Every structure is written in structure tokens, then in C-alpha cells.
Amino acid sequence: MIEHELTTIVQGFDGRELSLKANIFVPDGKSSGLLFFCLPGGGASRDYFDMGMVGSVDYSFVSHMTAIGHTVITMDHPGTGTNPLPEGHLFLKPRTASDYLAAAFEQICSDEDLEDLDAIGVGHSMGGMTTTLLQARHNCFSGVALLGSSARGLDWGTTEEEKTYVGKPDALERDLEKLVLARYGSAFPEIAAGPSGKSITFGGANPQITEQLRNNMVSLYAAGGTTSMIKGSFAMEAAAITVPIFFAFGDHDIGAPPEEAPQDYPNAADIELHILENCGHNSFAFPVIEELCSKLDQWARKTTG
């Protein structure tokens, strides 16, 4: 595959320009005609999608997908990793972040001559919420793949005050900055420790890949994390999705039972649900990554064919 980093310039809501970087991976051989635009979960960098070989297992989503002809773009969320916000940028809410990403994605496709490819949005965990917002607000994709991600919320991950906003998206939007700063003290807090590896749910298949997960950590986009954990916070956008959806969860994943995930996307053209065996929340950190990529490839070709 051919890899390079590129920089886009998008207009911020305060009138200033933002610089947003992305990595693009192009297959060496014939293109499949498919493009996967990938957003990581909260606290993870874009490198989550390209963790490489550990022992005899290839834990790189990028490697698996480019090997079968797909183009892959990976991006950090605005404000994290390679995409810091300009100094003095006002508090960034998830819907505005999705607008920035949509503008960057459009620019990338134009500059790299990728407009003829069928695009699939891929989001892991919090990145799945952002992918949903991207699609609902900008119709970027022919289908979306949500990995370890649903609109069911994460009750055990929220504070008692945050729980009062369940099913109240307008109130949450209004008070989001107050909630984030009260809990984290910063819009982009540093995470003291990454995945512990003490359980299958929060680590990887072995200590080496769990360490790789920790090495790929960046500051947490707390507004995104908070919104993704409060049930009903993006219900309107989830209901607005009309393209096909691919869901995949580990059998030791977090959140609501996987079978409940489709409920919040009632207008999707089609929904395919997979539960991955012997897999935690970080599905790319388990040998089942090969099966997951194969299923996603089959679904994407069927969806866009």
C-alpha cells in the first residue's frame, strides 16, 4: 500500500481557519472502488486502525483492507492527536466537530481524486457517534459501520448529574460545556492510564497488543465522550440515517446488549449485526480482526454493488 499524510484547511465556527490532518492509505493494486473513512473512539488516536503485527497476528485494519483493494482514510478527532485546535478556540461541541470533519473529508476526496469511490464511514465507540452525526448532517457515506458503538448510552459511565440529561438532547447541548468542565476540568483532558488489560473487555488479546493500545492514546475529547454516553443525546441523528448499517460488537463489549443497537436506527435501509467471539471493546486488538474485516468487506461490496 501507499501511505501519506495530508492536511486540510476548514473554516471554524468562530471564523478562523483550522488545520486538520489525515492519513490516507491507497492499495498497491487495483482499487475495489470503496473508501473507508475511519474515526477512533474516545482517547484513542487514528493509529488504532493501524496497530501492525504482534507475533503472527496482523492487528492493522488498514493492512487488511488495503490488501483487498480498499482505500482507507484515518483521522484524529478535532482537538486531539495530530489535530489540535487553534489557541483560544471556543468550546467544541460534537455536532460542530462533525461539521469540521465533513468539510475535511470533502476536501480530501476532491484533492485526492477520490470522488468516484463509494465511501463507508467507520466509527469505533465514540467515533461511531461522530460517524452518525456526519452522516445525518452531511450525507457523506453510502453506508456506515459502527464498531462497539450504539446510541443506547453507557449508564455506568455517567455521573448522577449527567443521568438527568437522558432523553433531553436540547438541554444537554445547552449545558454540555458546564458538565464537561465540572467532571474533567478541561475540554481535552489527558488520560492517566489507557486500557488496563486486566479483563478482556478493556484490553487486547495479549499484553503486547494492550501495550500498543496504550501507546496510541491521546487526550480525551470529553464533549464527545460525554455525549456518546448519555442515552438519547443524538437520537434525532440516529433516526435520520437511511443508508445501510453494519454493527459489530465483541461478546465482552461495553454498553447495552448488542441486539438492542438497531432500535435507535429505525430508518436504516438495512442493518447487519455481528457479535465477535472472544473479543472485548477494542475489536481490532483481537485475532478476530481478520474475521471482522472479512465480514465488513463482504457487507460493503454488497451494500454498494
Q: Is the pLDDT of residue 197 over 70?
A: no
Which letter, b or e, does each residue of 218-231 get, where b requires 16 or more Cβ atoms within 10 Å of its Cβ? bbbbbbbbbbbbbb
Tens of pLDDT along 23-75?
999 999 899 999 999 999 999 999 999 999 999 999 999 999 999 999 999 99
Q: For the chain, what is the largest distance between any 2 Cα atoms, rounded to a whole number of angstroms? A: 53
pTM: 0.97
Q: Cα dist. 140→36, 190, 228 in Å?
A: 11, 31, 20
* Domain boundaries 2-304, corresponding CATH code: 3.40.50.1820
Burial class (CB within 10 angstroms; exposed 0-12, middle 13-18, buried 19+) of 264:
buried
* CA–CA distance, 261 with 82 (Å, rounded to integer): 31
Q: Would you kindly state where each structural domain of the chain is located, as residue ranges? A: 2-304
* DSSP tag of 68: T
Tens of pLDDT along 94-141?
999 999 999 999 999 999 999 999 999 999 999 999 999 999 999 999
